[in-house]
């Protein structure tokens, strides 16, 4: 899924890979997932906030709450 300038980002449930691709649309899906994982791993406050919202490392689906937390920390993709 690629977004054009006419589309706006919506807070909803996303797969980890899908959200990674929104943040890094010009790289392979696996690399986009790994990049998003590194961003989370290197931000302890973000990791803690996600865990508080029920996220566990290895989860493939992010809830709307978890997506909102990521967007608040990283900005909109």
Q: Where are the domains of the chain?
A: 14-74
Q: Indicate the SS3 state at residue 63.
A: coil
pTM for the predicted model, two decimal places: 0.87
CA 20 to chain centre: 5
pLDDT category at 6 given cuts 50, 70, 90 is low
CB 9 within 8 A of CB 3: yes
Q: Which residue in this structure is represented by tokens 């589309």? A: 7
φ, ψ at 15 (rounded to 5°): -75, 155
pLDDT band at 3 (very low <50, low <70, confident <90, very high): low
């Amino acid at each position: 899924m690629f977004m054009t300038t006419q589309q706006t980002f919506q807070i909803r449930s996303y797969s980890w890979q899908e959200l990674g691709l929104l943040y890094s649309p010009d790289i392979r899906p696996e690399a986009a997932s790994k990049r998003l994982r590194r961003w989370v791993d290197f931000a302890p406050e973000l990791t803690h906030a996600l865990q508080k919202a029920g996220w566990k490392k290895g989860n493939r689906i992010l809830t709307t709450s978890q997506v909102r937390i990521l967007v608040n920390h990283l900005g909109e993709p």
